[in-house]
Structure formats: C-alpha cells, structure tokens
Amino acid sequence: MQLIRVLFALCIVIGTAHAEAPYPSKPIVLVAAFAPGGVTDISARLVAKGLSEELGQPVVVENRAGAGGAIGATFVAKAAPDGYTLLLGTVSELTVLPVVKITPPYDTMKDFEPIARVGTVAFVLAAHPSVSANNVAELIALAKAEPGKLSFSSFGVGSQNQLLAELFMSKSGTKLLHVPYKGSAAAVTDLIGGAVQLTFDTTTVVMPLVQGGKLKALAVLSPSRSDAAPGVPTLAESGVALETVGWTGVVGPRGMPPAVVARLNAAINKVLADPSIKTEFGRRDITVGQTTPEQFRDFMQADIERWSQVVKASGIRIE
C-alpha cells in the first residue's frame, strides 16, 4: 500500500511538472496556406527563422495549399489550441474567402485567435508581354473586343486576387476567363509562360519579373503609387475605382491560453523590429510593424466588414 502511495505521489509531481513546462517546450508548426514561392511562403519563412531564434525551439513552415487557402486555414482552426500549430494567414483565407463563399468553411472571428499582424504589400495588375495593351484603357478595350478570350490566374478559388479580378470586370464592363492555381508561384509561372495573359499579384512577386522583361505592369492597386513600381499608375488613376493592399498575420486556433498568445505576440513583434529582418521584408516591398493581439483582431474585423460591403455591392458570390 505504501508503495502505491509513493508511485501515485510521483505521478502527480511528474504530471504537474509537465503541465507547468514553460512554453514552448517542443517544435512549433507554422502553416502557410499557399504553395512555396509567394508572399505568404516568404513571410512565413522569415517569421519562422526569427521565432526559432527568439523562442529557442524550431518553428517549421508547413505548406498546406489549396481551395484559396481554406485547406491550410481549416487545418489550423481544428488543431489543438496549445500554441504549437499556427497559421501565417492572409487576406485571402481570413477575410475574403469567408465572405465571398456561399458556404464559408469557417468563421474567422470565432474560429481563430489573432496573435500579430506581420506586414502589408501592394498589388499589381500584370500582363504577359504578348498582350498588346500597354495600359488599363487599352486592356479594357481589348477585353471588350473579345469577351472571355483573355484569361487571368489566381491563388485559388475564393482568393483575394480572384475577387480583385471579379471586381475589375464588374467595374470595367469586361469578361475575363478565370484560371485558379494553388498559390502565387504556380499562377505566375504560367503567366510567364503565356498559358494565361493576366494576373493580380503583389509587387514582391511581379516587379522583379517586370524589371527582367518577363511581364509588364499596367497598374498598382494601392491608394497611391508604389516606390516598388516606379512609373506605374494606380488603377484609380487609370479610370477603375478599385484599390486594396495585401497583408499577412499570425493566428492560432481559438481558445489558446492568453499567456501563450502574449508570449507569441511579444516574440513576433521583437522579430519584426529586428533591423536585419526588416531589411529582408523591405527588399520584397513588404512593410512590417508591431501590433497587439487586440489591434490585430480589430484590424481583421474591419477588413471583413469592408470586404463584406464590397461583396454585397458587387453581388459576387462563389460556390
């Protein structure tokens, strides 16, 4: 009987010690919901590198692409809320897809725990060099002359850049053919090869290709011209009232312990403040900054409301 009591006491001590192990005590998975090569993947790997050093545990990027980001996001939403499975989320899967889908796969504000926003980046309307149009007005005229002939690539069905293209068509009175991919890299690869003619993608991805003569930039979608796209007019300047920016941020499954959220938020903000990391993001035209979880939550809520109004006004819905 005495032996049993001793063993029982030892179990309690061991269990308590395990429960009180400081976070993190094992590797963390950071999911990117798009294929390698785009802004999401680049941002995830930069954040993961810095977090690994700051937290003292490996932070492993895992790409779970498909369905406009919904596959990766759903995986994280259903994971244990212990801080060991996180999402480097974007506008596409966190604020656009839930409002544009007729049957949303999740509720962003109910199913995710906001931790920290990472950065913002401008979008560009880009074309293959074979497209005869050299500005937006010429593109609209070309698209109207042959409705449905010009095609555009997207990150996937329900993604931000599909909705941007749908809005462009709605506002310009044009008809383009949608060709969805599993992320930016594949979408741009086929654009470079001429399999599609147009895309809406970030300055991070598009401008090096423009400078290399592989693509041409027709307009930026930011409120003002971008330093990363010198000489390229805004879409609004070009006669189409449409502007947006892309953003990324870290979220986890809803119900994470507040102490874990606070630990991750502080670590991410420290990583983003590091001059070398800021330089790496800046080289890719990604603007980073520090936020609290509450600020990021308010930011996402406002973005959802904005996109909800856009979807309602345009009537665009996706199965």
More confident site: 284 or 178: 178
pLDDT tens-digit readout, 194-206: 999 999 999 989 9
| Residue written as token pair 């005229």 | 141
| Residue 151: strand pairing partners | 177
Q: Say whether pLDDT at 11 is over 60.
A: no
pLDDT tens-digit readout, 240-268: 998 888 999 999 999 999 999 999 999 99
pLDDT of residue 74: 97
| Residue written as token pair 């269990």 | 15
CATH architecture of the domain 25-120+246-314 equals: 3-Layer(aba) Sandwich (3.40)
pLDDT band at 292 (very low <50, low <70, confident <90, very high): very high
pLDDT band at 318 (very low <50, low <70, confident <90, very high): confident
Q: Which CATH number fits domain 122-220: 3.40.190.10, 3.30.1490.100, 3.90.1570.10, 3.40.50.300?
A: 3.40.190.10
Average pLDDT of the residues in 229-234: 94
pLDDT of residue 16: 44
Domain extents in the chain: 25-120+246-314, 122-220
As given in the structure block, the two tokens for residue 227 are 């330093």
Angle at 156 (CA atoms; ends 230, 132), nearest 5 degrees: 45
Q: Which of 250, 287, 260 is nearest to 117 (CA)?
A: 250
pLDDT of residue 21: 74
- Count Cβ atoms below 10 Å from residue 149 Cβ, excluding itself: 12
Average pLDDT of the residues in 262-277: 97
DSSP string, 181-198: -SSHHHHHHHHHHTSS-E
pLDDT band at 182 (very low <50, low <70, confident <90, very high): confident
Q: Say whether pLDDT at 60 is over 80.
A: yes
Pick the range with the lowest mean pLDDT from 8-12, 70-74, 95-99, 284-288: 8-12
pLDDT band at 176 (very low <50, low <70, confident <90, very high): very high
User: Percentage of residues in the chain with pLDDT exceeding 70?
Assistant: 94
pLDDT of residue 160: 86
Q: Are 186 and 201 in contact (CB under 8 A)?
A: no
What is the pLDDT of the chain when averaged over all its residues?
A: 91
Q: What is each CA distance from 10 to 4, 5, 16, 22, in whole angstroms?
A: 10, 9, 10, 20
25-120+246-314 and 122-220 share one fold: yes
Q: Say whether pLDDT at 7 is over 50.
A: no
Q: Say whether pLDDT at 142 is over 80.
A: yes
